[in-house]
Structure 1
């Protein structure tokens, strides 16, 4: 798995930069709010607009990539991310930053929806090993995002946006020269295919559970910097620890727990533990020590959830993986986009404890949805490992965020 051609390494590098965007703005939320006179709920729209556009765009990424080919779709996504990040950094109003952050979401959708396709088509090893390699890139990017955001954000809130634009330009050059040309597929995808895929109860169960999980994910990611009330560097270090925990468990711990206890049981326990952590944060919201510790601990359980959900979506429905990915991401991103805004709004209008209670409730509901639909997921662990053709694989991203 670790001896990969240059093309795979090029896409993995671009994936790391792309996934930095999930946590990159976290350390600078308070700086943006202060500099542009924005409220927490307005600042949270940096996540909401990004996620909403990314979710809706997932419906057309298959259509685009099936016509342009994988390489052109990746390059198009990278160009849009560069434009969105760079233009967001020069804005003078919160509305302008939100708008170009949403454009960034469109680019991210085009990129991440085809990144695993490119990796599987060029990688050595099985599809499962390709997924783990992809998850490793995801984890490194998520971990590095808050750290780089904190360092650059300590200089100016505009720094992280310009940093992403510069790094993505490097990724664009590397991808252009190292990834071999790819041709459009012979059978193009329809925009209706993801909706048809949601008729499969297993896929719908996982998608709805992920939507509810996002309420916990974004209560932690988009709101915690406000009660922490620390500088960009301090918040960045805390969420760097969160990202490291997420990366380690997603690559190392999740496969071992899956082999020993099964996918559904492991998911249920990980989600229940995350709900408990959010409840602790709701009770001790005034303690920086408790919040910081819980953020890092939550990353460990989120990493387990991310990897197992990825594999489950790829196996649960008898449809092409690209179609399953589009359907799943549409539900969880577009539906879960309200979660960051809601967390900020509840914190403003009621108190800082409520967003974490709502997040815990959302994750508990996710446990209930998965448990009630467990019979539709029972075949996931029993399904034999299959090699897939390059056109069948597609990325299934998290929390990404």
Structure 2
């Protein structure tokens, strides 16, 4: 990343900031329910496994919908796709807030996942195509939005969750409505060149060896990610505010490393080398969590350290997918995201089942093993990933411009 790009990361036109703000709110939805999981379980007489399905329904639908988002956006345009996604999130978040059973919340979270898929896949393409400073600056901005959203989500969830478990859902409704208006007013796409993308494009994309390797690695990596995010509130034993503050620290750590530390790391080593360094450290952190599972203070430390490592991996993986193939980036992103979200969907209920069957330390041990499998996948597929070790993100401006047409 050149010094010019670094100077331009925060100098963006209003439409980019409108989409980035909406990204922050969208990513808040990932961690928003974290602090209220115990409260939902208690208020709606739900088991931990049922409660963890709030993540699973959301992530399964998000992952599957990713396979069709590029097809949709290539026909109706980026702006309309963003607005439809935001509208769906507003509607289903409101329905979650007024639900009277855990089954209803699980179902409405699935609808929320559909809106989330339409929004986030198109948002990355829009930011990359519109941001000043090239695609590297855009990815940093996108990761900053991701980190900030993941950090703020648990904090708002904790604050509003102290009043009622319904409060965080009403909060998302209000913020997403603001994001909807901001994009409606500020985002202009006068020069859209729509090139319809076949419905089968993301599935065909997974046949490309480099993308397949990254997708499989991300699937196992996401199991570790969501065990740390979705399961830890139960053994932690805090109230809504305590959980919210803990995961606020986790999200801030994630944002710091994704935005500032990852670019420094990638200037000093190749992307595959960086992943092979970070993934074993994440596995060690999860093993440490398994060892100190009965110590709230120890778990808090492991959560925050995990945030630092997850921030690095998120940025490295995002950049790698963007540079791994000659495919339209919206197609590559959709195919990759579909696989990785399915890994995240499996983790929360699996963790709850393992907890009740074998003890609270076992989910963390399984998560550590899963992360090591991700590292083994990168190592075994390193030859297929040779391109990502030599591609420069800041040389991709022309491809980024083409991406706007593909995503529109």
Would you call these one fold, judging by a TM-score over 0.5?
A: yes
1:302 counterpart (306, 310, 318) = 310
Aligned-pair CA distance for 1:94: 0.4
2:207 counterpart (199, 202, 215) = 199
TM-score by length of 1: 0.96
Write out aligned runs for 1:334-345 (5 A): 334-345=342-353
Aligned-pair CA distance for 1:254: 0.5
2:221 counterpart (213, 218, 224) = 213
Write the distance in 1 (CA, Å) between the matches of 2:267 and 2:73.
Answer: 34
Summarize the Cα distance change of 1:178–1:148 in structure 2 as closer, same or farther, 3 Å threshold. Answer: same
Write out aligned runs for 1:14-93 (5 A): 14-93=22-101
In structure 2, what is the equivalent of residue 397 of structure 1? Answer: none
SS in 2 for 1:337: helix
Contact between 2:135 and 2:400, CA under 8 Å: does it hold in 1?
no
In structure 1, what is the equivalent of residue 237 of structure 2? Answer: 229
Write the distance in 2 (CA, Å) between the matches of 1:99 and 1:29.
Answer: 16
Write the distance in 1 (CA, Å) between the matches of 2:117 and 2:312.
Answer: 23
Give CA deviations for 1:103-150 in whole Å, capped at 9, x if unaligned.
Answer: 111000000011122223332221111111111111111111111111
Contact between 1:67 and 1:184, CA under 8 Å: does it hold in 2?
no
For structure 2, the 5+ residue unaligned runs are 1-7
Contact between 1:321 and 1:393, CA under 8 Å: does it hold in 2?
no
TM-score by length of 2: 0.94
In structure 1, what is the equivalent of residue 149 of structure 2? Answer: 141
- Are 2:133 and 1:125 equivalent residues in the alignment? yes
1:188 counterpart (196, 206, 216) = 196
Aligned-pair CA distance for 1:88: 0.4
2:403 counterpart (369, 387, 392) = 392
The root-mean-square deviation of aligned C-alpha atoms, in Å, is 1.5
Write the distance in 1 (CA, Å) between the matches of 2:268 and 2:78.
Answer: 36
Aligned-pair CA distance for 1:289: 0.8
- Are 2:188 and 1:153 equivalent residues in the alignment? no
Write the distance in 2 (CA, Å) between the matches of 1:292 and 1:241.
Answer: 9
- Are 2:370 and 1:362 equivalent residues in the alignment? yes
Contact between 1:208 and 1:332, CA under 8 Å: does it hold in 2?
yes
For structure 1, the 5+ residue unaligned runs are 395-401
Q: How many residues align?
A: 395
SS in 2 for 1:243: helix
1:5 counterpart (10, 13, 28) = 13
Aligned-pair CA distance for 1:362: 0.5
In structure 1, what is the equivalent of residue 277 of structure 2? Answer: 269
Give CA deviations for 1:301-352 in whole Å, capped at 9, x if unaligned.
Answer: 0000000000000111221111111110111112441111101111122211
In structure 2, what is the equivalent of residue 398 of structure 1? Answer: none
Write the distance in 2 (CA, Å) between the matches of 1:195 and 1:258.
Answer: 30
